[in-house]
Amino acid sequence: METQLRRLLEAGIALTSELSLDAVLQKLVETAATLTGARYAALGVIDPAGQMLERFLTHGVDPEAHAAIGEPPRGRGILGVLIREATPLRLHDLTEDPRSVGFPPQHPPMKSFLGVPILLRGVAYGNLYLTEKEGGEDFTEEDEEVVTLLAAQAAVAIENARLYESATRWLRQLESLNEIGNALVSEIELPKLLALIARRLRELIGARVVSIALPTPEGDLKIEAADGEIAPELAGARLARTGSKHGRVLERRRTERVDSVIDDPEIDQEVARRASLVTGLYVPLLARDRALGVIALHDKAGPDPRFTDEDVRRLALELRPKALDDFGLVPAIERLAGAFSEQTGIRVDFETALPDERLPSEVETALYRIVQEALTNVAKHAQARHVSVTLSRKDTSVTAVIEDDGRGFEAAGTDGAGLGLVGMRERLGLLDGRLAIESTVGSGTTIVAEVPFR
């Protein structure tokens, strides 16, 4: 046992030098095999939905055997038992267990078995599997304890990787929306603005092509902007108002997801075939009671071209968030703060002293975007653990104060271009507002935005 503990310590030190998740998990698999005397070892990572394996790393099976076996396991049989029950399992001969579904052709024979769930705070991230202990012996209770410790390290690595991916995804979304928002207050040429929106939305969602169609005085629709590999073929195209998918979506005023373009009778099949379109996501551009146009996205990048509910959610955060129109500034910022905290792990306290009556539309939009930009800065630069957002009102103005406990910066002598402060000042300048920044290295940052109104 002393030797095993020493090797565990050595493994822990080695893991700290690895940067990628796959490298860390592969090291854990190899260490588990070494410490238990297993000929074969594997680690399966369950997808966030908890239904199937999204990663499967192995040790002891050479490339030729991998090629002969074919596709990795799908999480059935004994592997499925571990996914569902998430408890350690030791077997003398896994082939004799009634829950086993056997091995595919060319798979090496395996009998003795040890499976341990990868758990952290009650959440199952996957399992470590070991087979064929040296000497034909069964895996022991000590083996189970050692592998359980390694599984705990794997759980931390997986959770950290997912938190990082989630925070990065959040930043991309905010950066895209902030760039669009800044363009709205500075760009007066509609074609340039629509081109920017199409480009950023395509990057945000990961679509092959994005197009924006607007109604024309003649009564049809025209694609005013497009971005992607087939954008030149789409730009300027005319679409019937009553006989096209775009027109129907505009009429129904709701987002529609198409998993198979060829099976949707409302889509022009000749155009779809010419452009090799497979899937679609159609989003109406709505402003209060008006339908202004339609954004269409096609063919998400990756092995599965279909769009997801998470994509419908990202695009639902319109250029002016719907929550502002429906409920006002306070609920919209509450929603923003909650999503930010969930995605980044940074605690956000939100307090408000605003009365119940609505503020002018341009004031609500400006304050919302400034809070959004400030939170983006916190996630990107501040290394903070806590943020507070406070809204207050005087007789003729509303003030937003955003404070963080991060590393701060030297506010004197900088125009704040890299921190988005220029965009904040420009936005407030259009409304005769003012922006104040207080920050020192090591002492966090305070942003005060005041917007007057009549």
On the question of pLDDT at 13 being above 60, the answer is no
Pick the range with the lowest mean pLDDT from 124-138, 223-237, 318-332, 437-451. 318-332
pLDDT for residue 317 = 46
Percent of the chain with pLDDT over 90: 11
Helix axes 361-377, 141-186, angle to 10 degrees: 140
Domains belonging to the chain, first-starting first, are 2-162 (3.30.450.40), 187-319 (3.30.450.40), 321-454 (3.30.565.10)
Q: Residues 388-412: pLDDT tens digits?
A: 999 999 888 999 999 999 888 876 5
CA distances from 180 to 235, 287, 423 (A): 20, 16, 11
Q: How many CB atoms lie within 10 A of CB 357?
A: 6
Please give the Cα distance from 380 to 376 (Å, whole number): 6
With cut-offs at 50, 70 and 90, classify the pLDDT of residue 446.
very high
Please give the Cα distance from 433 to 366 (Å, whole number): 10
Helix and strand totals (H; E) in the chain: 14, 16
Q: Which residue has the tokens 């991916």?
A: 165
Beta strands in 151-302 (DSSP E): 207-215, 221-228, 238-239, 256-258, 280-287, 290-300
pLDDT for residue 419 = 57
With cut-offs at 50, 70 and 90, classify the pLDDT of residue 332.
confident
pLDDT for residue 50 = 57
Q: How many CB atoms lie within 10 A of CB 107?
A: 14
Average pLDDT estimate for 221-225: 90
Residue type for 46, please?
I
CA angle 15, 21, 26 (to 5 degrees): 65
pLDDT for residue 56 = 80
Torsion sign, CA atoms 442, 387, 49, 122: positive
Burial of 12-27, coded b for 16+ CB within 10 Å and e otherwise, reads: eeebeeeeebeebbbb
List 41's β-bridge partners, or say none: 59, 130
On the question of pLDDT at 133 being above 60, the answer is yes
Residues sharing a CB contact under 8 Å with residue 210, sequence separation 6 or more, in sequence order: 198, 199, 201, 202, 226, 227, 228, 295, 296, 297, 298
Q: For residue 113, what are its two tokens?
A: 């078995």
Q: Which residue has the tokens 């920050």?
A: 439
Average pLDDT estimate for 143-167: 79
Considering 66-75, 100-109, 184-193, 359-368, the range whose residues carry the highest mean pLDDT is: 359-368
**Phi, psi for 224 (deg, rounded to 5):** -85, -20
Q: Which residue has the higher pLDDT, 360 or 83?
A: 360
Are residues 286 and 265 in contact, defined by beta-carbon separation less than 8 angstroms?
no
On the question of pLDDT at 321 being above 50, the answer is yes
CA distances from 265 to 59, 93, 262, 409 (A): 50, 55, 8, 57
CA 346 to the chain's CA centroid: 16
On the question of pLDDT at 188 being above 50, the answer is no
Please give the Cα distance from 381 to 378 (Å, whole number): 6
pLDDT for residue 400 = 94
Are residues 222 and 237 in contact, defined by beta-carbon separation less than 8 angstroms?
yes
Q: Residues 235-291: pLDDT tens digits?
A: 888 888 888 899 898 888 888 889 999 888 888 888 888 888 899 999 887 654 567
Compute the mean pLDDT over every residue in the chain, rounded to the nearest whole number: 78
